[in-house]
Structure 1
């Protein structure tokens, strides 16, 4: 049995606890909280009271670095919620203090649909990927998708960005249906990122787009021999032959399929790109991704698997995300520099 403790107990911590409860071999021993309150797990006043195989930080971004550093100083491996630090100075200080002792719960590349798309791209069907366009999620999450699909490393990146504001109805947020019927001002940030070596990204995000279902989520991966657009791939099938191949999601529970509602597989023709590693749980895509990173963290601390998402990768994601915000705020081109974690 591998044990972990939560630090903080907000929205994300509740999700982590709910998912962990469905994972055999993993148990939450409690949560470190600043003020006494009724929790579904034992409460600790400080990290000094924690005895666990690792800790998961789920605190506001401004508080995250100090919590991570204290845990590392106490010899506790850390799975940190995103982002690991709120600014560049914080990223540098955190890397100097914690380094390879920290993993980050960056889950987007582990979501079933993205994992299937990544497998398709890595199969070589579109050749060498050269550009990724993301319009679905914000900041470091979007950068993680770009870097993951491109295989972009830690070199300098040049960012140009702009913002516009327009009215938009916002019917859903983290709490569910808002009851809102009238448009409110929503800001869209559009940025281009030049990763070097012919690799680039396009970032397009509107306020609350992650949850606002009035905006499509879009992912485009362009390669030397074709491109992936969401769940469809155009590619060379042979000499003088261009084909369009769909990625199919097998979702049980529809119509007369009585197996219950669940994600089963993603396929491309005869090839299985992704198989749900947690069948029967009836989890949504975010829960599947969260379960995957918790499982991989447990394997890593036992020495039974590779690092799930090292701090170096998450720090680079956040570095570029901060450059996007700065470029948009100041209407200037921003180029990141090589950092110690690269």
Structure 2
């Protein structure tokens, strides 16, 4: 049977979004969770598969590739909010009180109770909630939080086109904007959109000692439908966001920077935009922006630049900060282009891109970086 050997793929069946990639310093292990349908080559029964690695090159299925052994989170198991799917989320090597404790990993993900879900169709209230699970054995098994969901509904009065894919972390740059100093708060973005208006990246805050209690602050990214700075270079932000990441990157001296200036970005999965120049109805688009305080004690990202992250079929780019290399690493999902017969014959559908480092190059000339088999060119 033909299978990819250079890119990571699930043991069998359908796979899509990378979920909760991380590096656990306690065990010196990289973890890659991913959405998977363990019983068929088409989307459905979405669960979390799990693989681990010491170098992001050689991967090992957890706990094995046989049967359903590689499934870490399954629909409805321990959480009646997720009976129809465990959608994308994120992980950190911390406890629910925000402490770094040996072998403890906390995951926050979208639990799905009703289907179908589509940005251009009716949105059924209660179909998506945000839930939490904790691993006490280095990410191998997870226990569902007893009081799930930790977020039961979108902000009051918001007619959403979607509300999923939470990404949480400490973000000192937002603390500094809001409070003048690093408070150690955790911030979480949830990808969304407002029907008939445009996509939204919603921002929530939790105090450092309680990752079960989140307060909605407002939209971090807020644009009109099909917004673009320049479709040729920037793509379209569509009408609904998915699998979005917001983060800051330091200018490193090795890349011509000053080792102190931070730049803020968001990587956005966008649905429904103008696709004249793109083969898919989904774009992976990055934006660079200035974060400023708004009148309602929240912040917004004012877009100053944007671009298409991948002109191929890569989607759902999901990232983590790699403390081992002090760098931000992205993984994405690539769907197969085989027909249904070919997919059934191969027994799998989809794979994960090679890891990609995202960095800020401060230079007036072209730079070049190689990661894996891909060489990237950039100019600033």
Q: TM-score, normalised by structure 1?
A: 0.27
Q: Which has the higher contact order (CA 8 A, sep 6+)?
A: 1
Please state which structure has a larger fraction of its residues in helix: 1
Look at both structures and tell me which one has the larger radius of gyration over its CA atoms: 1
Q: TM-score, normalised by structure 2?
A: 0.25
